[in-house]
Chain A
Amino acid sequence: MKQILVDIKKCLACKSCEIACAVTHSESKSLIGAVLQDKKPRQRVYVEAGDGISFPLQCRHCEDPRCVSACMSGAMYTDDQTGLVANNPDKCVGCWMCVMVCPFGAITQDTEQKIAQKCERCVDLEEPACVMACPTKAIKFLDIDVFSKDARLQYLTNFHLKEEGK
């Protein structure tokens, strides 16, 4: 199963992923339509920076999700078919337990409905919007093993060039 994985060295903090994510969650799905609509759409990916790196963070759709364990209404669940973590808006009561236990801060508030909102990984799109929007291809949508193999090859190249660890 493909995952959203980030090449940390390549993120320039341009926030193109944030814009694309918000547009995907708008009525028209277009930038211009999204800007003109009354209730502004909100993104579910956040570019944060610290200690010399910047990084786009969104729900990691954990295998053993703390947010699901913490949810007392049964709103947050792992979808059997997609394997993705999702929030059922009809069941969510806005207690914010999920927000407190998420180690990534990937869950925020839908301020209108007063419920939790997070990345749904664009299940209707071929690739998540943030992945398509990333101009440096820092955000990737790959099988874990493919990403790991790329990392191993990169490590070997750097090892050969005596630049280990770079």
Chain B
Amino acid sequence: MKWENKSIDPAVRTMLGKADKDGIDTVWDRYEAQQPQCGFGLLGICCRNCIQGPCRIDPFGSGPQKGVCGAGADLIVARNLLRSLMGGTAAHADHAYEAVEALYMAADGLAPYEIKDENKLKSVASKLGIDTEGKDKNRLAKEVAETAFADFANHGSSPMKWLTATAPQERVETWGKLGVLPKNPDREIRTAMHQTSMGVDSDPVNLILSAVKLSLADGYGGLHLATDIQDILFGTPTPVVSEANLGVLKADHVNIIIHGHVPLLSEKVVEWARKLEDEAKSAGASGIQLSGLCCTGNEILMRQGVPLANNFLAQELAITTGAVDAMVVDVQCIMPSLADTAACYHTKIITTMPIAKMPGAEHVPFEIEKVDETAQQIVRMAIEAYKKRDPGKVNIPDEKSSVMAGFSVEAIVGALSKLDASNPLKPLVDNIANGNVLGACAVVGCNNAKVTQDASHIGLVRELLKNNVLVVATGCAAHALGKAGFLTSEAAEKYAGETLKAVLTAVGNAAGLNAPLPPVLHMGSCVDNSRIGDLVAALAGYLKVAVKDLPIAASAPEYQHEKAIAIGTWAVSLGVFTHLGVVPPVLGSQQVTTLLTSDPVESLLGGKFYVETDPIKAAAGIIAHIKSKRAKLGI
């Protein structure tokens, strides 16, 4: 693969040269070695669900059209898609469950966390119908945690409380009519696993409806639950300025990179890295430099201002700088190759979760009661490793960009209320109505070795901003935009269309920035897509229309993970037009492809998938959709 096809990030390009020189095998080398990838797999028409198989359907019609059991392409594709959604939903629900456990134990004084955001606690409790009157924060937190646990233990027929409490009422009714309201995330995953096993469901439409149901379990029992509980425990983010890209690493500091998704341990590592700075100085370093990768990186950026090292595809290259003393990982998107890369340097890979171990790494188990001791141990391991660093192997790229992050819904409403305190959403809605803001698009998701790193994120967003579409971002998409300088006031000057720029300037000045608001609002990690869901629900509520009628869209230009498939399906279920920049493995079935990209998904839910691998054409498609929604609203 040519180096210019690997990444547009100049820091990554520099490190690719070093990786080559140091003999490091990267994700791109492995991707190239996998070419060409299996056509049956790419089209989703391989079934391994029973041991009579594996079976494959000939996509060109001359070979077998049925598996041994009689399943055709439509059924196999639908079953495989649902199994992907299970993987994604399980990841988010497990993440959220860990956060709930932490809150429950913290409320009982058994976990060394303090409940930082009482306002959020009260607001979540009220939505859940919990009486907040006269209760101290620990008692209230316990009741909130118990309500969450009850969703996971719900064996009745009522839908999940977290969903009915936080989703728009119009949607709850729509989903209810379709029979897709989830009762309990664990139970839905179990049922779907059963449904896709050999000889159960053979109706592709019924399987796609289950995919919708599972995506709602993901959206509310995963994303929303995780965001709510993490905000209660660690604080709801407010705007914060930091930096992004490998240039944040410091040659004279102990460098600790925090990688993964769940902030339970990383919040403590941040706390202890700050407290143990003197020990690093005694070891000869000037201090401790923390930075983040993937969504744990986003969590500690949003709440603690910790800079971002890079996004998913560059995790090996961060180690290749030779300057990383420890990389602490929790769960999800952690490449199994990290230990091999680290073996060429002094870097310690520290795994922490019982379900995410790695041969060649050191395992320091995360136990919630002892999290302070664990965090101290990790920081001290990094300081020890620093002493073994070989300065001859260090090469830190210069590139880094300033970023403004921390745009929770509360923070956005806070900024807008400076313009209209009694009706904070009015200025935004007015500017959408008069066309100054054409619409909004959430640009989210991963990197994928099939796409030049960050190229589709940046290409798409540049076009959207030029056309006065406001962008909100999460996940590795937000990292990409941060590295490329889109999370700054200057980006409003540079990239936003004239009318969008004027609106951003007015809001920025009113909020006391004395500069425009960034044209891309960093709203957090991948579970924080729930914040975007809340924002569009609030806009729809203010306008008294359904989410599906808003001039908005979502896009995952470079997604790779099963989690993204679950989130994307949730967005479609919310009524959002959802662009995918990588072709999902469904094209082996004409029926499933049509179901997802037009009717009946669109007529039943109001949203649909839109697949386009060219970011410029995708921007045109998104803008055309936004204009059609505006026309229907008569604005």
Contacts and interface: CB of A to CB of B under 8 A. Distances in A.
Contacts, number: 42
B588 interface: yes
B39 A31 contact: yes
A8 interface: no
A78 interface: no
B59 A35 contact: yes
A16 B39 contact: yes
A65 interface: no
A139 to B, nearest CB: 13
Interface in A1-52: 14-16, 18-20, 22-23, 31-32, 34-36, 40-43
Q: Do most interface residues of chain B lie in helix, strand or loop, or is the interface mixed?
A: loop
Contacts of B43: 31, 35
Interface stretch (B60-68, B170-178, B187-195, B376-384): B60-68
Chain B residues touching A, range: 10 to 19
A40 B42 CA distance: 17
Nearest to B56: A15
Interface string B403-423: 000000000000000000000
Interface string A40-79: 1111000000000000000000000000000000000000
Given A31-B42, A32-B587, A35-B587, A133 B36 contact: yes
Interface string B577-590: 00000010001100
A20 B40 CA distance: 11
Contact of A35 (B36, B63, B588): B588
Contacts of A133: 36
Contacts of B62: 40, 42-43
Interface residues on A, range: 20 to 34
Nearest to B35: A132
B145 to A, nearest CB: 47
B585 to A, nearest CB: 11
B200 interface: no
A48 to B, nearest CB: 12
A135 interface: yes
- A-B CB proximity, top 8 nearest: A19-B39, A40-B60, A40-B61, A22-B60, A35-B59, A133-B36, A35-B587, A31-B39
Interface of A: 14-16, 18-20, 22-23, 31-32, 34-36, 40-43, 132-133, 135
14 contacts: A18-B58, A19-B38, A19-B39, A19-B40, A19-B59, A20-B39, A23-B39, A31-B39, A31-B43, A32-B587, A36-B587, A40-B62, A42-B62, A132-B36
Interface of B: 36, 38-40, 42-43, 56, 58-63, 583, 587-588
Given A18-B63, A35-B587, 16 more contacts: A15-B56, A15-B63, A16-B39, A19-B40, A23-B39, A34-B59, A35-B59, A35-B588, A36-B587, A40-B59, A40-B60, A40-B61, A41-B60, A42-B60, A43-B62, A133-B36
